[in-house]
């Protein structure tokens, strides 16, 4: 799914701007002064075109509400003029992000003959969401069982960017105990082994409701395999190995994850297994 989607992506993080201008007030006399420039914004994210939590009209109204709050019109003789609506789109894999930015100039009316000229104020700008965001790191523990009567325990890390919360990458240090098959001179020998594994996984998370998520992650894994058998002829000590892993499951709230995955070995040893895991993120 990741390969197909990324190959169809045309632009990553492209922003397209569409401006619409509306004049709200006709100014026919020199009884006002422009005192500042203000902006307000609202953003929604859609996954496979679904979600966002707000329609186009509602999103635009929320952006305009934020702009008017920054203008400070209540209880004053102020008004906004030259209102501008800017629309930004950004596509990242399965996610489409839509952002409306409403901007305007604030004028304050006064009596030129008897009143004091209004003082200018500091303009209010929204943050540029295209700026790189800091990396968020989550840590946790993982444990589970394997299809060949084994078990695994480990420590895990997840890394993500707030602006791209659909995507994440993770790594673990797993200690696994399981039985493996070793082909030796036309004979298959079942061995008991202990392994230290370090997978490097790239993943996606899609929301299910407000608190839960479905995730899919996969990538290469490396490690060391330790032979626990007492047979001197076939006791090879320890050997390095490489492989691949594909893993899918659900995250419930902020802490609990449950998933099912499969691990393939690349090399001489038949070190393949399916695993069921329960993870807890701190």
CATH number at residue 149: 2.40.160.20
Q: Would residue 71 count as lying in a domain?
A: yes
The stretch 11-19 carries a mean pLDDT of: 42
Token look-up 């992650």 returns 217
Query: Do 98 and 158 have their domain in common?
Result: no
Distance CA 94, CA 213 (A): 14
Tokens of 219: 């990538």
Q: Would residue 173 count as lying in a domain?
A: yes
Highest mean pLDDT among 9-23, 43-57, 70-84, 169-183: 70-84
The stretch 109-136 carries a mean pLDDT of: 81
| CATH classification of the domain holding 19 | 3.30.110
Distance CA 65, CA 68 (A): 5
Query: Do 143 and 196 have their domain in common?
Result: yes
Domain that holds residue 253: 136-281
The long-range contacts involving 72-75, CB below 8 angstroms and separated by at least 24 positions, are: 72/106, 73/106
Query: Do 50 and 100 have their domain in common?
Result: yes
Who wins on pLDDT, 54 or 16?
A: 54
Read off the pLDDT band of 277 (50, 70, 90).
Answer: very high
Read off the pLDDT band of 163 (50, 70, 90).
Answer: low
> Above 60 in pLDDT, residue 225?
yes
> Above 50 in pLDDT, residue 203?
yes
Q: Would residue 122 count as lying in a domain?
A: no
Q: Which of 74, 109, 144 is the last residue of a domain?
A: 109
* Strands across the sheet containing 78-92: 18-22, 78-92, 95-109, 32-47, 50-51
Determine what percent of the chain is predicted with pLDDT higher than 70: 73
Q: Would residue 265 count as lying in a domain?
A: yes
Q: Would residue 127 count as lying in a domain?
A: no
- 89-121 as b/e, with b when 16 or more CB fall inside 10 Å? ebebbbbbbbbbbbbbbbbbbeeeeeeeebeee
Kindly report, residue by residue over 66-106, the tens digit of the pLDDT: 999 999 988 888 999 999 999 988 776 667 888 899 999 99
The stretch 133-143 carries a mean pLDDT of: 89
Q: Would residue 121 count as lying in a domain?
A: no
Query: Do 105 and 152 have their domain in common?
Result: no
Q: Would residue 188 count as lying in a domain?
A: yes
Read off the pLDDT band of 271 (50, 70, 90).
Answer: confident
Q: Distance from first CA to last CA of the chain, Å, rounded?
A: 29
Query: Do 221 and 148 have their domain in common?
Result: yes
Tokens of 244: 């691949």
Number of structural domains found in the chain: 2
Query: Do 102 and 147 have their domain in common?
Result: no
């Amino acid at each position: 799914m990741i390969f197909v989607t990324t190959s169809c992506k045309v632009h990553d993080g492209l922003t397209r701007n569409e401006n619409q201008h509306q004049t709200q007030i006709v100014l026919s006399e020199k009884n006002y002064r422009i005192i500042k420039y203000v902006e307000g914004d609202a953003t929604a994210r859609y996954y496979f075109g679904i979600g966002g939590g707000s329609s186009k009209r509602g999103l635009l109204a929320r952006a305009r509400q934020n702009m008017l709050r920054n203008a400070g019109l209540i209880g004053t003789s102020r008004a906004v003029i030259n209102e501008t609506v800017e629309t930004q789109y950004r596509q990242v894999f399965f996610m489409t992000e839509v952002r409306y930015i409403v901007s305007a100039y604030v004028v304050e009316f006064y009596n030129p003959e008897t009143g004091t000229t209004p003082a200018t104020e500091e303009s209010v700008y929204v943050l540029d969401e295209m700026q790189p965001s800091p990396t968020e790191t989550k840590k946790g523990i993982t444990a589970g069982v394997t299809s060949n009567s084994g078990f695994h325990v480990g420590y895990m890390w997840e890394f993500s960017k707030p602006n791209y919360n659909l995507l994440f990458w993770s790594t673990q240090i797993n200690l696994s105990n399981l039985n493996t098959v070793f082909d030796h001179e036309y004979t298959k020998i079942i061995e008991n082994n202990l392994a230290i594994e370090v997978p490097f996984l790239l993943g996606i998370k899609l929301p299910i409701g407000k608190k839960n998520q479905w995730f899919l992650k996969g990538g290469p894994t490396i490690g060391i395999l330790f032979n626990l058998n007492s047979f001197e002829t076939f006791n090879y000590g320890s050997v390095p190995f490489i492989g691949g892993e594909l893993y899918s499951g659900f995250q419930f709230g902020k802490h609990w994850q449950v998933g099912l995955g499969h691990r393939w070995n690349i090399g001489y040893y038949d070190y393949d297994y399916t695993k069921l895991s329960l993870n807890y993120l701190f």
